[in-house]
């Protein structure tokens, strides 16, 4: 799973926010000023330990990321500054769609290391884009 996510990281780490079309400017909410200190592998292990979701949700989250990259016509880039937030959001949406039981966004935000309002905004933006 970690390799699959790392393979999606764009070699071009520079994302020029002003050049984004108006409908994609919300995508910037997924980018951090610098890459998080937690590795992608450790972040996934954290999800595995605390989300307690089915394994299928991880695959569905990857499919959502692929759909997002296709729907945004190459403007969407997963970088080291965005992979954590994009995958967190995709996984939360996958869990809510696929699993019968799931936690609220307060719990997922805590596990993912973001504020609840931030996760709510990322989820709404992600759903609009796919």
List the chain pLDDT tens, one digit each, 130 residues. 666 666 666 555 544 455 555 555 555 788 887 888 999 999 999 999 999 999 999 999 999 998 888 776 555 677 888 899 999 999 999 999 999 999 999 999 999 999 999 999 999 999 988 8
Question: In this predicted structure, what is the pLDDT of residue 15?
Answer: 46
46 alpha carbon, distance to own chain's centre:
14
Burial pattern 56-80, b for ≥16 Cβ within 10 A else e, equals ebbebbbebbeebbeebeebbbbbe
The pLDDT tens digits of the residues spanning 64-75 come to 998 888 776 555
Question: In this predicted structure, what is the pLDDT of residue 16?
Answer: 47
Question: In this predicted structure, what is the pLDDT of residue 111?
Answer: 98
Domains of the chain: 39-129 (1.10.472.10)
Question: In this predicted structure, what is the pLDDT of residue 79?
Answer: 82
Alpha carbon distance 82, 12 (integer Å): 12
Cα–Cα nearest to 89, from 42, 41, 130: 130
Start-to-end C-alpha separation, the chain: 22
Cα–Cα nearest to 43, from 70, 80, 10: 80
Six-digit token pair at 125? 């933006």
Six-digit token pair at 105? 């966004």
Alpha carbon distance 37, 41 (integer Å): 12
Q: At what angle do helices 83-98 and 55-71 cross, to 10 degrees?
A: 120
pTM for this entry:
0.81
């Amino acid at each position: 799973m970690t390799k699959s996510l790392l393979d999606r990281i764009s070699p071009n780490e520079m994302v020029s926010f002003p050049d984004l079309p108006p409908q994609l400017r919300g995508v910037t909410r997924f980018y951090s000023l610098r890459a998080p200190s937690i590795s992608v592998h450790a972040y996934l292990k954290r999800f595995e330990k605390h989300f307690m979701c089915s394994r299928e949700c991880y695959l569905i989250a990857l499919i959502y990321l692929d759909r997002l990259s296709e729907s945004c016509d190459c403007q969407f880039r997963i970088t080291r500054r965005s992979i954590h937030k994009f995958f967190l959001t995709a996984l939360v949406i996958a869990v809510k769609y696929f699993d019968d039981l799931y936690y609220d966004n307060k719990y997922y935000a805590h596990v993912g290391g973001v504020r609840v309002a931030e996760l709510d905004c990322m989820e709404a933006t992600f759903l609009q884009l796919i």
